[in-house]
Amino acid sequence: MLLKAIDLENKINKENFEILQELKEKNIKVKLLSIRVGDDYGSILYEKSLEKTINSYGGEYIKLIFNEDDNENEIIDQVKKYLDDDSIGGILLLKPFKNKELESKLDDIIDYKRDLDAVNFRSKAKIYDLDFSGHVPITALASLELLKFYGYDLTGEKCLVINRSQVVGIPLSLMLLKENATVTIAHSKSKDLKSLIKNNKYIFTAIGKADFFDSSYFNSQNIVVDISTNYKSGKVTGDVLFDDVVDKVSAISPVPGGVGRITKSLLIKEILSYYL
Q: Give the shortest CB-22-to-ligand GUE separation in angstroms.
A: 25
Q: Stretches 44-52, 155-163, 182-190, 213-221: which one binds ligand GUE (CB under 6 A)?
A: 44-52
Q: Is residue 165 part of the contact set for ligand GUE (CB under 6 A)?
A: no
**Site map 53..82 versus ligand GUE, x via CB under 6 A:** ------------------------------
Q: Is residue 138 part of the contact set for ligand GUE (CB under 6 A)?
A: yes
Q: Is residue 124 part of the contact set for ligand GUE (CB under 6 A)?
A: no
Q: Is the peptide bond before 96 cis (omega within 30 degrees of 0)?
A: yes
Among 88, 252, 255, 266, binds ligand GUE (CB under 6 A): 255
Based on CB atoms, which residue is closest to ligand GUE, 143 or 222?
A: 143
How far is C-alpha 24 from the chain's CA centre? Answer: 27
Helix 169-178 and helix 138-149, axial crossing angle in degrees, nearest 10 = 40
Q: Is residue 123 part of the contact set for ligand GUE (CB under 6 A)?
A: no
* CB atoms near residue 129 (< 10 Å): 9
Q: Is residue 257 part of the contact set for ligand GUE (CB under 6 A)?
A: yes
Q: Stretches 43-51, 59-67, 105-113, 155-163: which one binds ligand GUE (CB under 6 A)?
A: 43-51
Among 30, 37, 42, 161, binds ligand GUE (CB under 6 A): 42
Q: Is residue 49 part of the contact set for ligand GUE (CB under 6 A)?
A: yes
Which spans of this chain sit near ligand GUE (rule: CB under 6 A)?
Answer: 42-43, 45-46, 49, 92-95, 117, 138-139, 167, 229, 236, 255-257, 260-261, 263-264
